Structure 1
Amino acid sequence: MARTIGQKRRREAEADMEQQAAATTNGTKDGPPNKKSRVEERRSLFVRSLPASATNESVADFFSQHFPVKHATVVVDPKTKESRGYGFVTFTDVDDAVEAKAKLNNEVFEGRRLRLEVAEPRHRAGGPGVVKSRIAEEKKKREEELAEAKKVPKLIIRNLPWSIKSSEQLSQTFSKFGKIRFADLPNNYGKLKGFGFITFRTKKHAERAMAEMNGKDVDGRTIAVDWAVSKDEWEQQQANDEDQKEKSEPKKKSKAKKEDDPKRTTDNSTTIFVRNMPFTTTNDSLKEHFSQFGPVRYARIVVDKATERPAGTGFVCFVNEDDFKTCLRNSPQSRPPVKGARISVLQDETVDTDGRYTLDGRVLSVAHAVSREDATRLTEAGPAARSKEEKDRRRLFLLPEGTIPTNSPLYRLLTPTEVKLREQSAQQRKKQVQANPSLHISLTRLAVRNLPHNMDAKELKALARQAVVGFASDVREGKRLALSKEELARGGNDDKEAERRRKEKGKGVVKQAKVVMESKDGKKVDEKSGAGKSRGYGFIEYSSHRWALMGLRWLNGHPLKNEAGRTVRLIVEFAIENAQVVSRRRANESRARQKRDAGVQNGGKEADKKGKPFVKGNKGQAKPEVVKEVETPAEAKKKKDAAEKLANRQRIIGRKRMVRKNKKAGR
């Protein structure tokens, strides 16, 4: 590691010398620079951190995309003919060079972040003291850079969500960027402080984690990732900040008007919420479109966490409040449809006459953005009202339930075969519901795939009961989120009635578990026959949607051992059912339930159509069906043994009679 850092420092020192030498090639030691040197002074940039594959043409093409370039030179190794990691770019204007340095510094070029400096001519005037001073400064600079390189690559993560309750969870969140040496989550007597620390093995991995995770949403909160400093440096910075604050207090008192108008980036007073955006919209295109109303501080599109694709909405924050009000006031308002008028999904000229609110042929809907807390409160307060307005009677919103996002830690544990199975299942289910309008998603029935072939229905039912208990335990331990109020209210009155009947009868939360079996010729057979083998999938039916959702989220991706001892992970989704079949089944269950209730009310005797019980000896009445008593397994076995003994006795008697008959015939 130290050797690599030393080689890097030597290359940078050679680059500094090359810059100075190149800057003085056009001038003499004692005389003034020539005309070419005076013209190109401060129009050239010294470029560091170039990749080994960089050439004069590729560097010139990269910078020409932003500013006019006169020429570019990459310093190469005479032996290998590869780039030594630095070079020069000369622009046609001094202003272009300054703007290029400000804009393109730290930009990525062929996988490397460039470092730009303005190339200045070397001043050779001065005696030996100047040379010694310059050498000392260079040595001090190298020592500082070496000390910086030896620092532990430690990051501080602020504004962490409360769902991250342990250092293991924090380490798991950042483990995809490289090997982690240590993770710490400070707390105050068990109460988390909202920030944590991550120490990586290498600085490269830490830089990658900071670049990709800074400003990213994690469980609904935007985290901030930065380099961690020592406690002494932090206390010194705090002391400096307090000194500056004390010095600025008199100015604040004399300038009270300026205090009333601070620049706040987290204020939503100038932020708008945009709907009906094209799915091809990016942050840059959204910002560019709304810049016609005034300066824009930032623009962000909303990405769906499940699909990892744009959701068609976004946020735009203006710098000035007047521009915000103008954009909001002149935004197109939705109008009721006019009878006989032509309807178009593209731009409506009657709504957006000047086209300022139309992006890629779609008329944008603009509203004042609310804070995250208000949005959460409104979301939790209105599930019942939204459920009434929902027109998705087929419950297709449950179709993605069971999909594992690609950025999830569980996704990395799946084998390529399991990933392919999940993709095929998602495509097949989507085609089924699109082709047949009678199909809908069940609230209580789960389809389980990738089952071990040695698992039967009894074991599957036990696993389904374990899933509900496991989900509740994970919620208590903070390993997963509890069900939201909206999810608990999905079942409505049907779920409440089902739960009431279940508790009255004292039954469990799992109504049925079934493993689909097949015979040797591939036909479906009943599992009770014992003559088939498992097809590798089955079904689980819970008593209500609440238990089904808990079971699905715990079982999906759950590892099991198959008959060969290999680990397989279950694929669990809400089952697709035919609405007509379900309607007939519910009608039959309702009639059977009413029939049982009527029998209980009459003391176990069935009633006729008029509600009168059948009486023995009444003429003109049909004989009631004999209600068979339910036998216990012990009674059934005892009865079966008695029948077998009787049959054996009859066979023995029959054989004896046959023997006697043959003897008589032989005489």
Structure 2
Amino acid sequence: MAKSAAQKRRREAEAAQENQVVENATQGTPPTKKARVEEARSLFVRSLPPNATAETLTEFFSQHYPVKHATVVLDKETKQSRGYGFVTFADADDAVEAKNKLNNELLEGRRLRLEVAEPRHRAGAKDGANAATSKLAEEKKKREDEQAEARKAPKLIVRNLPWSVKTPEDLTNLFRMHGKVKYADLPSVKGKLKGFGFITMRGRKNAEKAMEAVNGKVVDGRPIAVDWAVDKQTWEQQQKDQPDEPAETEEGAEKPSKDDDDEDKEEEDDEEDEEDADLRNFMKNHMENLEDEESDEEDETGGKVDDDDEEASKETKSLSTDNSTTLFIRNLPFTTTDEDLKSHFGQFGAVRYARVVKDRETDRPAGTGFVCFFNLDDSQACLKSAPRHNPTSLAGKPSILQNEDVDHDGRYTMEGRVLQVAQAVNKNEAERLATTSLALRNEKDKRRLYLLSEGTVARNSPLYNILPESEIKLRETSNMQRKKLVQNNPSLHLSLTRLAVRNIPRNVDSKALKALAREAVVGFAKDVKEGKRQPLSKEENARGGQQDKEAEHRRKEKGKGVVKQAKVVFETKDGSKVSEEIGGKSRGYGFIEYSSHRWALMGLRWLNGHALKNDAGKTSRLIVEFAIENVNVVQRRRAIEDKSRNREATGESKGRDTGAGGPRRGGRDKDDRKGKTGAGRGSRARGEKEKTSEEKVGSKKENKAAAKLAQRQQIIGRKRMMRKKKAQSRGS
């Protein structure tokens, strides 16, 4: 009963307050002449630094004109300057002169914007009453919303979640020991988690306890961040209140949508209303006879502010298009921060800012970034001495074969990764370069010599540091031999789908190598999902072109795997090459053929340096490179494959024809046996005989070629045996 009476008294008090405000607004009179004179003496000062005070404002303007009073509007929560204030001079002429003279002057690094403080007076009392009533209603609604929000169950946002937290149950297990969990949610896009989640606790005390215990806790190597969850509108307001950061010239920047523009416009209107309220308070507290200032809801200087903001935005936009001192960095480690990037490139000159690009969906580093220098000379020097990532874009054979992707002095290496430095461009130019780079490479480098760098290990990489000296020497020798082979023979090129694998343990056969090739593709995908490895770029996925698409289509039609063939080369005791079925021992190298370049590239990057143990327990790491092929051999092999496919297709169609027309031909054969012969039967018989003779001739040629090859192998084996016997006789 007492509670209902208290609520009734509160409602009556609010109604009385509302009536009083409306009455005061409707009875307002225009400002007096003295008030208008006092207004002309005051300036509205914008763009103040955050640490500005009334004393600093008085001291600044007192150097030029006598100041009667100065004040800085402070934020209620932070107690810092909201960026504007008021100055009252002793004379109105001084105020006008101060505005003309000191406008755009610097105060602690900020350019001041000065305007005469002239609040807008409404013509009708009705508008004032409506404005006052509307304001009171808004305050009442805001108070009710706050009370309703306080009654809601406390909700927490959990950021930087590891990828092991895949279900809401996993997230619940992290908070269950600290209180009752009512609801858990993990947002995702097309089945891909975003890296954060929401947890709703029962009771605010439990939520505070859980936030204190779980915040900063390391789960699977990642520190979790826990904070109170807020609605979208509050979050946007918090982002708006934060100080503006310097503009970035990133290729992935998006233009704001129309909805965002509308929201920004509403926020700007709210700011203008707040500034107008501060202006009214200033006039009321520090001037005389300003009876009706409370009725004002808008700032007359709002149009000027919009114009200034427009000019500032235009100036910022024009500066953002100048990318002459900005560099685009690729292949960054995923642990790199803005500070790390700025510190690393500080060795080349003074850095204005450095930004690491983050994925919009996961909010994790994307492996790229931007570095902006103060001086153009420092930027150009850094770009000029950087390792060249795309040697095929340079003219001449030596530059194509030379491995210019190596950082010799270590200045462009971070955590074992060689950075790729390029001049930053705008978004349109970046899209154009992406579409033309693949066509340019295919046109200039038809032998695919850019694949020579795949499989090499950089000197500053972690893998290089753990390799034994023998394997390092083996890799360097292999790289030199491959370059020499390609340089001396123009008919050699690098395959897109075949890999040459060396340093294979002797106990690994072709079956085990094929299983390892399948595992490599799966392992690469897992590493990408866990953030341990970068995914393939769009350019790398598009290298195979139409040929890869057709191969993938055939593979899916037949239901086959991504690995077409895996073969380990075997030899006999006398050193001659034999097939694996006959027996012998492994030579320690082999080949893997994938169905398309995409799978081959994934397999190479996972298999290269992969550790395997032999029967004796000794560990060796695989050396994987794209295989060098002779264009003539490849053409012959493709011709045989095409012929085989055509033969299979012909056999299938022949079988279908036989099945469909069997009874009809059977009847006709019966008639023929009775003497009813015809020209059609004779022509078909001749065609079948000719086809049979052609097949016999083809099989004879194949048998003859196989016999000739076997004879050659026997001759080679005899010669090797003779050389060994001669060597043994000389030694004895």
Same-fold call, TM cutoff 0.5: no
Report the TM-score, using the length of structure 2 for normalisation.
0.37
- By percentage of residues, which structure has more helix? 2
